[in-house]
Amino acid sequence: MASGSMKEIKLRIKSVESTMQITKAMELVASSKLRKAREKVEKARPYFLELHETLSDIVAANTDFSSEYLVQRPVKKSGYVLIAGDRGLAGGYNNNMFKYFTEHSEGKNVCVIPVGKKAVEFCKRRNIEIVTDRYAQVEDITTADCSDIGGVMAGLFAEGKIDEFFIGYTTFVSMLSQSPEMVQVLPIVSIENNGEKKKQSAIEYDPGAEALFDMIVPIYVSGMTYGAVTESWASELAARRTAMDAASKNAKEIVANLSLEYNRARQAAITQEITEIVAGAGEA
């Protein structure tokens, strides 16, 4: 009996060890990808800041400025860009996003542009209206893809099919903490025309301030989308790294416990054998 349980323990140790190898490898892969992902986030930042400033300047320089992208309409239908991962095994990364989205969109008439395989699957499972499932790969999404998404969003908004747009993404707070977030992209609320003309020299707008503004909005929205996607991707990797680190630690603990059990069983078997030999020698 003793040798049977010893064999079982040995097998379990082996299986846990091979799991540990996988989790460790995944952790390393996530770490190295994370470095690149964070660089991407850093590189995109100045572009976005400049773009925001340019738009704000246009609005601030004109007191009688109006653009349909700035008007808050009664909301009949809301659009969301939902960014999640392509794969699981990243702790609560995907689930947190979906939970947050469900809370935020409750009671609304929604349609979604999902980004990432998990987001597409989520929407299909919940029977949520999907605009397009072209972007089922979050890892190698390009700026061109994001400018497509931005164009689609601006188009649907301008046609009056959708009255507000949000981007659901995960912010990278730190290596250990990432939190889901919703930002409103349309109508643009972060830029305000408070009727006060900024003191600055005259600027020539080609073609016209309003036409130009309407041309820049899709670019602005695309920039926001790209920023959100890169940040979410970094968050996903960080979440996966943390989850895999925890899994490796747990596996290590299990192996330690099992080794102790194995040694005890081995010791018990030896003791029993000695007792049997001694007993047998005493009888002779």
Partner 1 sequence: MAVFNLKIVTPHGVHFQGEASSITVRGVTGDLSVLPGHINMVTALGTGKASVTADGEKRTAACSSGVLSVLKNEVTVLASTFEWKEEIDLERAKENLARYKEELKKATDKKDIEMAKIRVQRELVREAVKTEK
Binding site for partner 1 (CB under 8 A): 43-44, 46-48, 50-51, 54, 57-58, 143-144, 146-148, 151-152, 155, 201-207, 212, 215-216, 219, 222-223, 226-227
To partner 1, the closest distance from the beta carbon of 208 in angstroms equals: 10
Spatial distance between the Cα atoms of 179 and 267, rounded to a whole number of angstroms: 50
Minimal distance, residue 237 CB to partner 1, in Å: 19
By beta-carbon proximity to partner 1, the closer residue of 144 and 284 is 144
Cα–Cα dist 278/205, whole Å: 104
Sequence-distant (6+) residues with CB within 8 A of 91 are 239, 240, 242, 243, 246
We find the least distance from the C-beta atom of residue 40 to partner 1, in angstroms, to be 8
Residue 227 C-beta: closest distance to partner 1, Å: 8
Write the DSSP assignment of 223-255 as a string of letters: HHHHHHHHHHHHHHHHHHHHHHHHHHHHHHHHH
Q: Which helix (H) or strand (E) holds 260?
A: helix 209-283
**CB within 8 Å of 135: residues ≥ 6 apart:** 113, 114, 115, 116, 141, 145, 149
Read off the DSSP letter of residue 116.
S
Count Cβ atoms below 10 Å from residue 204 Cβ, excluding itself: 5
Cβ closest to partner 1, residue 22 vs residue 216 = 216
Residues pairing with 171 in the sheet: 179
The residue (of 84 and 152) whose beta carbon lies closer to partner 1 is 152
Closest to partner 1 by CB, 125 vs 199, is 199
49 versus 173: smaller Cβ distance to partner 1 = 49
CB of 259 to partner 1, least distance (A): 50
Cβ proximity to partner 1, 50 vs 253, nearer residue = 50
**Which residues make Cβ contacts (< 8 Å) with residue 154, sequence separation at least 6?**
69, 186, 217, 218, 221
Please check whether residue 82 is in contact with residue 112, taking contact to mean a CB–CB distance below 8 angstroms.
yes
Please state the closest distance from residue 216 (CB atom) to partner 1, in A.
6
